[in-house]
Amino acid sequence: MAIALGVIYTTACKVKKSAEKTTANPPAGVVMQAPKDSIPPTPEGRIVSPLDPMTPPTDMAPVAPVDATTPANPASPTAPKTIAPPQLSKIAIFTSGCSAYLPEGMGNFDLAFSEDSSEVYTSQTTIDSFSYGCIAVKFIVPLEESETEKILTQYMDYLKKQFQIVRGAGYGKGHKLESNAQAKGIVDYWTNDAAVQYKIKGWVTPTHIGILYLSRYNEYPWYNAQEMYLNGFRFP
C-alpha cells in the first residue's frame, strides 16, 4: 500500500462530534507548513481533544525544571534562567486512537484526509521560541508489516520537501518503542532554508504513523526533555 503523499488537504476540515468526514475537494498540498519564524498555527479549522493529564508510566517520568547552573547534558549549553522545559501530559489525538506526551497547548488537533481517506491529524505550539509539532496518520487500510518502515521513510521524505529542508544528518533507523513491540522508529536532524533546525522522530505500525518534532533557531537546552518528548508517541 502506498500513501497518497502529495494530496493531503491544505485546509483542515472542521470536525463535528461525530467526526463526520468532509466531502470538500480542496487543492493538493502539504500536511503542515514548516514554521519559518516560530509562528503558531492559526485557530481556524481546529478541533478540541480532551486533555488527559496523568502520571507518566515508568518509561515517561515527569520532566523536572532544570537547574540554571547545570547543563541538560554535556553537549548542551546551560539552560536559560528564565525558562524551563515544558511539563508533558498524555493527550488523546482525537479519534485516531493514538495519544502522545505533549506540552500544554497541543490538545487541539486539525483533521485532514489523504486521497485514499486516511485520517491526518496535526497540532503545533510554540513555547519560549521553541516549536513543538505532532502529526498522526490513521491508515484507511492497514499496511503489511514488511513495508511499514519503507512507508515511514517515504512520508518523512515528503515532509522534508514541505518543510523546505536543505540539510539532513541522515535517517537513523532501528528505534524501538517500549510500549509497542510492532512500532518502528526513525530519527533525523534537519535544517531548512531559513536556518531553522529540526529534530524529528517518526514512528510507524501497520495502522498508524506518528511524527513528533522540535524546531528552533538554536540548540534545545534540555536533552532529557527532548528525548522524552520525541519518544512519547503512543499507539492504540
d(C-alpha 100, C-alpha 103), whole Å: 10
3-class SS of residue 2:
coil
3-class SS of residue 28:
strand
120 closest CA partner among 38, 25, 233, 7: 7
What's the pLDDT at 128? 86
CB 214 within 8 Å of CB 189: no
pLDDT digits 0-9 by tens, 158-189: 999 999 999 999 999 999 999 999 999 999 99
Percent pLDDT > 70 in the chain is: 65
C-alpha cell of residue 196: 531553522
SS3 content of the chain, % helix, strand, coil (to 5): 15, 35, 50
pLDDT over threshold 90, residue 109:
yes
pLDDT digits 0-9 by tens, 25-82: 333 333 333 333 332 332 333 332 332 222 233 333 333 333 333 333 333 344 444 4
CB-based burial label for 55 (10 Å; 0-12, 13-18, 19+): exposed
pLDDT, averaged across the chain: 73
Q: pTM for the complete prediction? A: 0.68
Segment holding 225, helix H or strand E: helix 223-230
Question: Among the residues of 33-189, which ranges form H helices?
Answer: 148-162
- Residues forming beta bridges with residue 2, ordered by sequence position: none
Sheet holding 88-92, edge to edge: 88-92, 99-103, 233-234
Indicate the class that CATH gives domain 47-234. Answer: alpha beta
